[in-house]
Amino acid sequence: MGKELALKFSKKPDLIIGIGDGIYTNVEEFLNGIYSVYDNVVVSGGLAADNGEMKQTFIGLNDKIYSKGAILIGLFNKDLIVETYNSLGWQVVGEAGIVTKADKDKVYEINYEPTIKFYDKYLSKEVTKVFPKIGVEFPLLKKHGKRFVARAILRKLENGGFKFGGSIKEGEKVYLGIGMLDNILKE
């Protein structure tokens, strides 16, 4: 989807703003599609939300509203100054887990046990029983270069797995992330 939308521009934008639905869009695959067309463009944006319900989100374009898909907005101006800054604001909690069974954005096992057991270890069954409603507050963190990226829980799967807002590969080290309000505000 990212590649298909990026190819619609007649020339390389100076900045791309991407907005996707928050249920079906795999952010990593979406961005990889854009970067396959424009490998060094700055992309900003985010995913639509529904206040933690994880049932249906909406994006709009012109006079239409969609529950699936994404839009790209290209900014073109030779005088546009684009600067980037990244701030995660999430704190790593506990020891690393190794993803032992996954398929793109679905993680079935960490350390050879259902993914929910990794969460239960640090948060308790009382907290994890309300996932995915509060799952965005406890993403999995994984290293991407020198920094961490967060993968929020979007949906519970059968057998204790979760669907996340981006891909996580088998063999990757992951950590539980907790939002620390002071760190988020400071950043």
Q: What is the pLDDT of residues 134-161, one digit of tens each?
A: 878 899 999 888 888 889 888 899 899 9
Q: Tell me, what's the pLDDT at 144?
A: 84
Give the DSSP letter of residue 136.
G
Best CA proximity match to 133, nearest among 186, 71, 54, 38:
54
Q: Tell me, what's the pLDDT at 133?
A: 79
pLDDT digits (tens, 9 = 90+) for 21-46: 988 888 889 999 999 999 989 999 88
Residue 16 exposure: Cα atoms within 13 Å on the Cβ side: 28
- The mean per-residue pLDDT over the stretch 76-93 comes to 84
Q: Tell me, what's the pLDDT at 63?
A: 93
Best CA proximity match to 120, nearest among 144, 111, 105:
111
> Residue 187 pLDDT > 80, yes or no?
no
Q: What span, in angstroms and rounded, lies between the C-alpha atoms of 21 and 19?
A: 7
